[in-house]
Amino acid sequence: MAPGPVTASAIALGSRNRYAGLLIGLGHCIIELPLVVLLILGLGAFFKSETAQMVIGIGGGLFLLFMAVQMFRGIKKAGLQQEKVISSDPVLAGIMLSGGNPYFPLWWLAVGLNLVMRASEFGVYAIVLFALIHWLCDCVWLGVLSWASFKGTRIFGDKGKRVVLGVCGAALAVFGCLFLWNGGKILLG
């Protein structure tokens, strides 16, 4: 529920597709499932390495800047009736925004791993139950955001849609620059 690139994307893509948040949540789940398995298998140290953090930071930053540019381009088209229903695949956005976020594996190492390990004390079914509840919460939250954005842009019209795209594009650009900054600091030592 913390504001970030996935939240901004759910709001922006939700302005054009009421189900975008659910699809972004699905993409987020697709990237989280293998991560949870890898953490259970003990590969958390890899995600703590500077190399992994650098690659995730730079790659994620570039992807976020690409998404921001696409949103800014969408501002010009916001009033056109022939506009595509969605200019980006929300499932792919969920995968890329989650996998390219350097704070994503850090959250899983700091908080998520502890939750998974506590659930594992009660067996594999508890881990599955934890994962399902976690993913359901993600999908519901992102679904609510995209639905509210979709309804809001219908109420406030093209001007409101342009404002939503501009704010979310700016947020993605800021996050992209922060990710590049952090990845670049590691690269340059």
Show the tokens assigned to 29: 């789940």
Distance, in Å, from the CA atom of 78 to the CA atom of 69, rounded to the nearest integer, reads 14
Which 3 state secondary structure label does DSSP give 20?
helix
Over residues 75-100, the pLDDT tens digits come to: 776 554 333 433 468 999 899 888 88
| Per-residue DSSP letter, 162 | H
Q: How many Cβ atoms from other residues are within 10 Å of residue 39's Cβ?
A: 19
In whole angstroms, what is the distance from residue 54 CA to residue 61 CA?
Answer: 10
pTM of structure = 0.75
Could you report the per-residue pLDDT of 118-160, keeping only the tens digit for each? 888 888 899 889 999 999 999 999 999 999 999 987 788 878 7
Burial class (CB in 10 A: 0-12, 13-18, 19+), 158: middle
Q: Please state, in angstroms and rounded to a whole number, the distance separating the CA atoms of residues 15 and 149.
A: 5
